[in-house]
Amino acid sequence: WEKHAYITGICLDQFKVPVTIPCGHTFCQKCITVHWDKMTETNMDIKCPICNEKFDPRPTLKRNVTLSDVTETIQLGTESQGATTVHRQSAMTAQAQVLCDRHKKALVYYCKTDSMCVCCECAIRECRNHEQVLMEEEKQRREEGLKKKSREVDKIKEDTEKKVQELSENINKTKVSLKQTSLWVNAKFASLVKVLAEKQESILSFIEQEQQLALSEAETNLSTLEDRVQQLGEIQGQIATLQAMTDIQLIQESRLVEVPQMKDIALDVPTNLQGRLSLITDVLSQISKLVSEDLAKAVNAAIGHDKQGSPQDKRPVLAVVPSPATPCSPAVKEGLIHCTLTFDPRTANANLQLSQGNRRAEHLVSGPRQVPPHEARFDTTWQVLCFQSFTHGQHYWEVEVSKPWAYLGVTYQGIPRKEKGKRCMVGMNELSWSLQLDERQLSAWHNGRREAVAGHPQHHRIGMLLDYEAGTLTYYGDGQARLHAFHCAFSQELFPACWIGEGVSITLCTP
């Protein structure tokens, strides 16, 4: 061995049992051993033949497993091609995937600080103070980590599969539950429809029988009266004939003419149908309220329509067509057909003054006016009725109120008009229905019974929708928000009515 060999290298042949010394350089085990033995014999320091790093004591040589595998692979490949010798540079070129891009040397270390694989020269120069391990150790550590992650993934997968199974079972249970609920709801509705249809048929049959009984007697009385008219006509004919006779004949024959004595015949058609059906109509009113309001609100709450408000709580948008028999003049406004109403001056209390073509009623603070007496007038109650009335159909109208001190509603014609006290007020008897406007609280009144109405108490414009056949009277505040609805069985002619507090004016709105 020459001195220059210690500096430039000790061999250039293919690695045979490669070992890596502490400085990071790799040599054949036999070559470096022989080299260091000669240095020991000549009393020279043990150092690396390439970088001249000294080692004291002499390092123990350990095989470079990774580079040994590369060398064996190259050797097997060259032997199959008949090659006998492969230089170290050829071996490193063939395994470019494990070479350092910078130094073209084998990657034998893993730098934890930089999280990358490095060659021996990188380990010495760039990563000298970094935490480093052999690639084989890092590989083993990473394999252990992958095994741990695999076990974790297996556990998560197992848990997820259990959740999939549980959710699938819950979905099936929910399907069954929803189907059962759907069947139950459908059966309940079908049962209710069936019961209502049966009871409707029964009640209508009863009403028809009562009608036949009542009308049968009345028609008999009518036939008797018609016979009497004919009989009386015949007697009138006899009298006329006698008056044309001579005096002697008239005197002799007049004795034969007699005025028949006839018993009184009842002219009314007796029936107590309304009284007998009062319990039924009350129940139907309750059912109507339950279905039209309570059930509608429950359904809207269940299906999430509360944010937008129940359709029941909004002013109707379909045209409401008044009955052709009523004297109302329809006019289109905002998708509705409004009734044009006027106050009836014959009914106005003396404290109320009408103006604007009887469309405005004002309670005078100066006291009562001089008004002619009339049987239709409210003598002691600050009240007035409209001239128009309704017996069927749907009707919508609006009124403007100057101050919240009034009662607005509808009434039958038979409402008391001459009595003192509240019984004459609209809503305070069984013949009328009203909404009380007050600064603090809205109230609904019928037959003297009060029901508090939720919502903002002060509204200057009130809309009223009457559906005679459906038996509903619905109020809308300021033309928009639904305030209240009455549910009942109307049976007589209905007149819009207003009770007006002192200093308050009410105007019937025109389209």
Determine the length of the chain. 511
pLDDT of residue 73: 63
Give the span between the Cα atoms of 80 and 456, in whole angstroms: 100
DSSP, res 322: P
Same domain as 260, residue 276: no
Q: What percent of the chain has pLDDT over 70?
A: 84
Same domain as 282, residue 265: no
Could you tell me which of 262, 259, 222 has the C-alpha nearest to residue 239? 259
Q: State mean pLDDT over 135-153.
A: 93
**Residues 328 and 339: beta-carbon distance below 8 Å:** yes
> For strand 394-401 and strand 505-508, is the pairing parallel, antiparallel, or unpaired?
antiparallel
Give the span between the Cα atoms of 399 and 361, in whole angstroms: 11
Least confident of 5-9, 146-150, 193-197: 5-9
Same domain as 211, residue 174: yes
Higher per-residue pLDDT: 46 or 296: 46
Show which of 78, 96, 130 is a domain's final residue.
130
In the beta sheet, which residues pair with residue 383? 499
Number of domains in the chain: 4
Q: What percent of the chain has pLDDT over 90?
A: 41
Give the span between the Cα atoms of 36 and 49, in whole angstroms: 9
Same domain as 287, residue 250: no
* Tokens read off for 346: 């014959």
Same domain as 119, residue 251: no
pLDDT of residue 274: 67
CATH number at residue 114: 3.30.40.10
Least confident of 33-47, 254-268, 399-413: 254-268
pLDDT of residue 305: 54
- For residue 416, say if its preceding peptide bond is cis, omega within 30 degrees of 0: no
In the beta sheet, which residues pair with residue 407? 436, 499
pLDDT per residue as tens digits for the range 445-486: 999 999 999 888 889 999 999 999 888 999 999 857 889 999
HSE toward the beta carbon, residue 242, CA cutoff 13 A: 17
CATH number at residue 421: 2.60.120.920
Same domain as 348, residue 239: no
Domain housing 253: 138-271
Same domain as 114, residue 21: yes
**Residues 499 and 407: beta-carbon distance below 8 Å:** yes
Same domain as 11, residue 119: yes
pLDDT of residue 96: 41
pLDDT per residue as tens digits for the range 403-442: 999 999 999 999 999 999 999 999 999 999 999 999 999 9
Helix (H, G, I), strand (E, B) or coil at 32: helix
> Whole-number mean pLDDT of the chain?
83
Same domain as 355, residue 213: no
Most confidently modeled range among 137-151, 237-251, 299-313: 137-151
Radius of gyration of the chain (CA): 56
Phi then psi for residue 326, to 5 deg, are -90, 150
pLDDT per residue as tens digits for the range 489-509: 888 999 999 999 999 999 999
> Does the pLDDT of residue 104 top 60, yes or no?
yes
Could you tell me which of 108, 128, 126 has the C-alpha nearest to residue 118? 108
pLDDT of residue 289: 79
Same domain as 421, residue 453: yes
DSSP, res 418: S
pLDDT of residue 187: 86
Show which of 130, 162, 192 is a domain's final residue.
130
* Tokens read off for 45: 């320091």
pLDDT of residue 64: 85
Largest separation between any pair of C-alpha atoms in the chain: 198
Same domain as 477, residue 345: yes
Show which of 130, 150, 175 is a domain's final residue.
130
pLDDT of residue 359: 97
Q: State mean pLDDT over 210-230.
A: 88
Give the span between the Cα atoms of 147 and 134, in whole angstroms: 20
Q: State mean pLDDT over 66-87.
A: 58
Same domain as 281, residue 242: no
Higher per-residue pLDDT: 12 or 285: 285
Buried b (16+ CB within 10 A) or exposed e, 181-197: eeeeeeeeeeeeeeeee
Most confidently modeled range among 6-15, 160-169, 276-285, 301-310: 160-169
Phi then psi for residue 135, to 5 deg, are -60, -35
65-80 vs 135-243: helix axis angle to the nearest 10?
90
pLDDT of residue 325: 36
pLDDT of residue 448: 95
Place of tokens 């109403």: 341
> Does the pLDDT of residue 99 top 60, yes or no?
yes
